[in-house]
Amino acid sequence: MYSEKVMDHFTNPRNVGEMPDADGVGTEGNPVCGDVMKIFIKVRDDRITDVKFQTFGCGAAIAVSSMVTEMAKGMTLDEAMKITKSSLADALDGLPPQKMHCSNLGADALHKAIEDYRKKQGK
Amino acid sequence: MKTIYMDHVATNPLHPEVLDAMMPYFREIFGNPQSIYEPGIRAKEAVENARAGTAALINAKPKEIIFTSSGAEANNFALKGIAYAGRNRGTHIIVSKIEHHSVLNPARFLEKSGFAVTYVPVDKYGTVDPDDVKKAITKETILISVIHASPEIGTIQPVEEIGRIAAERGIVFHVDAVASAGNIPVDVRALNVDLLTFAAHQFYGPKGAGALYVKEGTRIVPLIYGGIQEGGRRAGTENVPAIVGMGKAAEIARRDMQKRMDHVTPLRDRVIDGALKIDRVTLTGHPEKRLPGHASFVVEYIEGEAMLLLLAGKGIYSASGSACSSKALKASPVLISIGIPAHLAQGSVVFTLGEGTTGEDIDYFNETFPQVISRLREISPYAKGWEGAEDPTCTVKK
């Protein structure tokens, strides 16, 4: 049902945890629907220097969260804004069709974290 | 890696004696039971022997057994067959809210076809109150259908009382006994039922073999029209090996039932005791009136499919009623009907034991399950509580 890459990121998720001093935080999803992703970012000179995540959800949701943190680390904010659901799914060698939308919230949560950071900077 | 199968409510391996009984009917005695020459006659005899064995499991007469391809077919047959046979007398049907999809979906189909359906609620343990059934009866009611035991929460219904109410009012009573028949005593006379669904793979028989008990004298319209098989009530060339397997499995279940129940009950209790020691884990279904091999829980702050996958990674196979683990991406209607909020229903997990389960399996389970839960709680944003998770609406497009 899941690719080897999904299973790898699910069983050994990268960058798990909270970041108390995060520069931006984004949450997407709802436990009623099944999946919630919370992404924390640290930003220096417009570049993401560290990322952490916490996820409530199925195997796909956890794998997507892990993958999005791996992809985003080291990217500029503009580059990270270009990560999409489909680029995430591709990086995981695909997701089952029914998991494409509800479990694939990693990009949205990351974008929200970036928006949060930018809003705070704008102050 | 050692694997521990804890999903016996999904299906079971074939009993070795059942396989032996079935084997000759694939190649040697392959005749069509409707043929009049020797191989046909022998196949016919085998089907009738199996019918007697299957009937005895539920204390029915052989001629009251109609073989089907599955429990789902038998449930569809019961609902549609009784509704269409009785539509001149009335058009109202009563079912419980915790029926299997193979009862709920035909009920919805009948609603679209001009029947009215009342869905009787259940209490927090998933038990139907017979009084609620009584109150739902109108002069139009022609059928009451209630599940005997829930595969999701294990609760056993007071079907005998409901059967008495139905009999007093002359209403046909159907029981879906797929999860119970072969695992606990089911006696159609004692339970006052007119129709009863059961399936062979739930008691170590083959998949693709089910049966509908139809009490002598009950009028039912076929679901599958065609030839004269099954007394003209279910057309299609008999699946002889599977039917033989069902008959054999029924005989063994009748012979070994007490032994099997005595085996799984204490193991089941150890699963429940072990799981309930973990913080924020609650039992779903009735604490006592439940299937002997059935333990089901809600684990807070984490999701069921993730639990199943991590457990499977450790060799433990189980089930969940979470939205993510269902192909329909909907929380189980059974869990919702017993009042479990949708975000908690996500943490549903079900363990069902069988004759192969050992004490060491349960030791390993009780050691592994808490590890899997802590692992996922380490990842969860809610590990410290449900704060910020109160929004009851689903904002994500599916």
The residue of B378, B380, B384, B391 whose CB has the most chain A CBs within 10 angstroms, and thus the best one to mutate to test that interface, is B380
What average pLDDT does the segment A35-63 reach? 96
Higher-confidence position of A19 and B323: A19
DSSP string for residues in B127-155 = PPPHHHHHHH--TTEEEEEEESB-TTT-B
| Tens digits of residue pLDDT in B264-320 | 999 999 999 999 999 999 999 999 999 999 999 999 999 999 999 999 999 999 999
Nearest by CB to residue B342, choosing from A29, A32, A54, is: A32
- Angle at the Cα of B357 from the Cα atoms of B351 and B313, rounded to 5 degrees: 60
Q: Report in angstroms the alpha-carbon separations of B63 from B53, B145, B211, B233, B324.
A: 12, 22, 12, 12, 43
Q: Residue B398: pLDDT band by 50, 70, 90 thresholds? A: very low
Q: Do A31 and B392 touch (CB under 8 A)?
A: no
- What does the block give as tokens for B377? 């709680």
Tell whether the model's pLDDT for residue B394 goes beyond 80.
no
pLDDT given at position A123: 62
What average pLDDT does the segment B227-248 reach? 97
Query: B398: which chain A residues are within 8 Å (Cβ-Cβ)?
Result: 33, 101-102
- Strand order, beta sheet including B294-299: B281-283, B294-299, B348-352
What average pLDDT does the segment B126-135 reach? 98
Q: Any residues with CB less than 8 A from the CB of A66 and at least 6 apart, and which?
A: A9, A10, A13, A14, A15, A16, A53
The residue of A12, A33, A55 whose CB has the most chain B CBs within 10 angstroms, and thus the best one to mutate to test that interface, is A33
Q: Do A35 and B324 touch (CB under 8 A)?
A: yes
User: Which regions of chain B carry the CATH code 3.90.1150.10?
Assistant: 4-9+257-379
Average pLDDT, chain B: 95
CATH of the domain spanning B16-253: 3.40.640.10
Chain B residue whose CA is closest to A1: B309
Query: Does residue B295 contact residue B276 with C-beta atoms inside 8 Å?
Result: no
The residue of A4, A6, A14, A32 whose CB has the most chain B CBs within 10 angstroms, and thus the best one to mutate to test that interface, is A32
Lookup result for tokens 């089910």: B210
| Tens digits of residue pLDDT in A67-81 | 999 999 999 999 999
SS3 state at B40 = helix
Q: Do B380 and A32 touch (CB under 8 A)?
A: no
| CATH number for domain A4-122, candidates 3.40.250.10, 3.90.1010.10, 3.40.50.2300, 3.40.470.10 | 3.90.1010.10
| Tens digits of residue pLDDT in B3-34 | 999 999 999 999 999 999 999 999 999 999 99
Nearest by CB to residue B398, choosing from A55, A62, A102, is: A102
Give the C-alpha separation, B279 to B269, whole Å. 18
Chain B residue whose CA is closest to A7: B309
pLDDT given at position B325: 67
DSSP string for residues in B328-380 = T----HHHHHTT--HHHHTTEEEEE--TT--HHHHHHHHHHHHHHHHHHHHH-
Query: A55: which chain B residues are within 8 Å (Cβ-Cβ)?
Result: 379-381
- What does the block give as tokens for B141? 């009611």
Entry field: residues in chain A: 123
Give the N- to C-terminal CA distance of chain B in Å, as an integer.
Answer: 37
CA atoms within 13 A on the CB side of B329: 18
Nearest by CB to residue A33, choosing from B325, B380, B394, is: B394
Question: How close A93 comes to chain B (CA, Å)?
Answer: 18
Residue B216's closest CA among B333, B70, B65? B65
The model's pTM is: 0.94
Question: How close B5 comes to chain A (CA, Å)?
Answer: 19
Beta bridge partners of residue B96, listed in sequence order: B120
Q: Which CATH superfamily is domain B4-9+257-379 in?
A: Aspartate Aminotransferase, domain 1 (3.90.1150.10)
Provide φ and ψ at B344, rounded to 5°: -80, -35
